[in-house]
Structure 1
Amino acid sequence: MNFRQLEIFRAVISGGSASRASELLDISQPAISRSITDLEASLGFPLFNRVRGRLVITPEGQLFSEEVANAFLAMDRLKASSLTIRDLGSGHIRIASLAAMGSTLIPRAIKLFQEEHKGVGVTLHVDSSPNVKEFVAKGQFDIGLAADEIDLTGVDHQRFASFKAVCVLPHNHPLTSQKAIRPEFLHREPFIALAPGDRARTELDLIFRKHEAVPSIVVETPNSSTVCALALEGIGVGIANPIAAEGYSERGLEVRPFTPDVHFKSHLLFRPDVQRSRIVNAMAAALMQARSLPPTGAKSQRDLI
């Protein structure tokens, strides 16, 4: 039994006769008859009864035709899958991201990606930058987005973005009258600080010392999004990644530029053990494009500040 015999058998079933199968497959009618005879010999049971020159399918042939139909459906699925793999490399992609971008920039990138690749599923996991790096290094995720303070050993990587820090303040805070916030303005102010070890926190500490400013730290947190949430509740002021501040202004958070500049830098991370598939490259391109898009509902990135 071979694939060609099954194809001929299927053509006889769908065409209703050997002559019609001959037309469908563009082969001679004797070749059709020989193929059916050979297939019956290999199976050990008749597929058709020959009645007055016509082929009448047997009960066994009917049961066998149902299995053949299922086999061809499976082949069709294999062909569709092979086209997806050829064009994209996979039917699913897994992304891990630091919190600052996991609910803002990443969703915009996924929207861009799925506009071009509607049949590809996406898994998004938000975690700390060190964990994101480990997930990608171990092959648990295809692509990662992490802050630049992590050790990049064990992953392929490229610089992703550098965003200028902003100062986030509660509504009606006295400093909202300022167009930009300077370090000395924060002297003795209740302050929501990033966690020690964060590169932006280290830069800020140096700037505060240089300007002889000593904010009164009331909370420390590793996430810019948490800084924004705490400031919104009136707990203090903070310095945050502007991407993480998206959506808080509509709820009453005040956002101002901070000077001198402090940057939140990040990297795209890739698995080191495999060549990047087309689907991974497509998602990386969508992430790069999303960097320059304004927040949903905003006219530009400047609407953040």
Structure 2
Amino acid sequence: MQLRHLEIFHAVMLTGTITAAARLMNISQPAATRLLLRAEDQLRYKLFNRVRGRLLPTKEALVLQAESEKLLAGLENLRKLARNLGTASSGHLRIAAAPALCLELVPLAITRFRQKHKDVTFEVETRQYADLVRTVLTQEVDIGIGFDIPPHPGLDLSPLAQGHFYGAFPAAQEKSLPNLVKLNYFTRQPFIGLRSDDPLGSAFSATLNLAGVKLDPIVEVKTNQVALALVEKGAGAAIVDQYTAAARNPAKVAIRRLQPSLPFAVQVMRPKHGPPGLLAGQFGSALDWAEKSIATMLSAPAA
């Protein structure tokens, strides 16, 4: 029994007449009649008896009905899945990102994406550099988002944006701060430093060395969020990435551009040898929108 035969059988069972079944299947009445006759010919028994203008199911048809409904329901689910895969309207996306990117960027992107794709679910993990790269390489996540990721033979790296560092100060200093803060300004007060054992911290340390500025931190931290929390409590000043800066509480933290500006790269990582994933690819446009939205929250850094 072919699929088309199952469809005409199901249509007649639902409607009771060949005319209504043809209308349901969007075919002509003669075409529907031919389909039903071919189905009965292949089965070698009748499926329906004509009684006063209606088609009544035989005992054999009633036995077939339950299984045919299961099969057609499964087929419809398969069709929906195929459509959803093509439009990324459903599915599950696993994301790992640097902690700073999970404050504003990733939440904004997810919210934006789910406005059009409400059936998509997410799993989000914060990871430091080495762990972030590992989870992408081992395909524990679909995409990773991080700062200044060096090239790797197992990774596909896509640039998302060029970010910048900002000076973060206790809000009580707001009125006394210059509009543009030079690096040596941080030698005048307690400084909260970022450890240099990941690419972002390493790039920052290299910039300080090139500028001939030596900053002796009172506290060294692993993440920009911890640095920002210390600034909020009045422990000192810090230099943080723009995504952490955008998530600050303006009543507690004053933000200033740096001179010269200190740029860094924001990249999206995917496993080079894993399946491309339509969902992950389409999520990239939401990340791009979120990044541009965050950039407008802060003034453009000075050149």
Question: Which TM-score applies when normalising by structure 2?
Answer: 0.81
1:7-29 CA-to-partner distances (Å, cap 9, x unmatched) read 22212212313565467653264
Q: Name the CA distance, whole Å, in 2 between partners of 1:210 and 1:138.
A: 36
Aligned to 1:98: 98
The change in CA–CA distance for 1:165 and 1:68 in structure 2 (over 3 A counts) is: same
Residues 1:302 and 2:303 are matched in the alignment: no
Identity between Structure 1 and Structure 2 (%): 23
Partner amino acid for 1:234?
Answer: G
Aligned to 2:86: 86
The change in CA–CA distance for 1:240 and 1:15 in structure 2 (over 3 A counts) is: same
1:132-171 CA-to-partner distances (Å, cap 9, x unmatched) read 2222222222221112155533101122222221111123
Q: Name the CA distance, whole Å, in 2 between partners of 1:303 and 1:209.
A: 24
Number of residues of Structure 1 aligned to a counterpart in Structure 2: 298
Asked if structure 2 preserves the Cα contact closer than 8 Å seen for 1:255 and 1:304, the reply is no
The change in CA–CA distance for 1:85 and 1:64 in structure 2 (over 3 A counts) is: same
Instruction: Quote how far apart the aligned CAs of 1:6 are.
Output: 1.6
1:86-112 CA-to-partner distances (Å, cap 9, x unmatched) read 334973332221111112112222233
Partner amino acid for 2:299?
Answer: R
Aligned to 1:16: 16
Instruction: Quote how far apart the aligned CAs of 1:207 are.
Output: 5.5
Q: Name the CA distance, whole Å, in 2 between partners of 1:245 and 1:31.
A: 68
Q: Name the CA distance, whole Å, in 2 between partners of 1:226 and 1:60.
A: 72
Aligned to 1:276: 276
Aligned to 2:138: 138
Instruction: Quote how far apart the aligned CAs of 1:221 are.
Output: 1.8
Q: Name the CA distance, whole Å, in 1 between partners of 2:197 and 2:57.
A: 77
Q: Which blocks of at least 5 consecutive residues in structure 1 are unaligned?
A: none
Partner amino acid for 2:269?
Answer: L
Aligned to 1:224: 224
Residues 1:39 and 2:43 are matched in the alignment: yes
Specify the SS of the correspondent of 2:218.
Answer: strand
The change in CA–CA distance for 1:221 and 1:175 in structure 2 (over 3 A counts) is: farther
Partner amino acid for 1:66?
Answer: A
Asked if structure 2 preserves the Cα contact closer than 8 Å seen for 1:95 and 1:142, the reply is yes
Q: Name the CA distance, whole Å, in 2 between partners of 1:211 and 1:218.
A: 21
1:259-287 CA-to-partner distances (Å, cap 9, x unmatched) read 23222322211220146344333222222
Question: Which TM-score applies when normalising by structure 1?
Answer: 0.81
Partner amino acid for 1:68?
Answer: S
Specify the SS of the correspondent of 2:299.
Answer: helix
Q: Name the CA distance, whole Å, in 1 between partners of 2:188 and 2:197.
A: 22
Partner amino acid for 1:221?
Answer: V
Partner amino acid for 1:232?
Answer: E
1:3-55 CA-to-partner distances (Å, cap 9, x unmatched) read 233222212212313565467653264662452364365xxxx7556768864
Residues 1:247 and 2:244 are matched in the alignment: no
Higher deviation after alignment, 143-152 or 125-134: 143-152
Partner amino acid for 2:36?
Answer: I
Residues 1:193 and 2:193 are matched in the alignment: yes
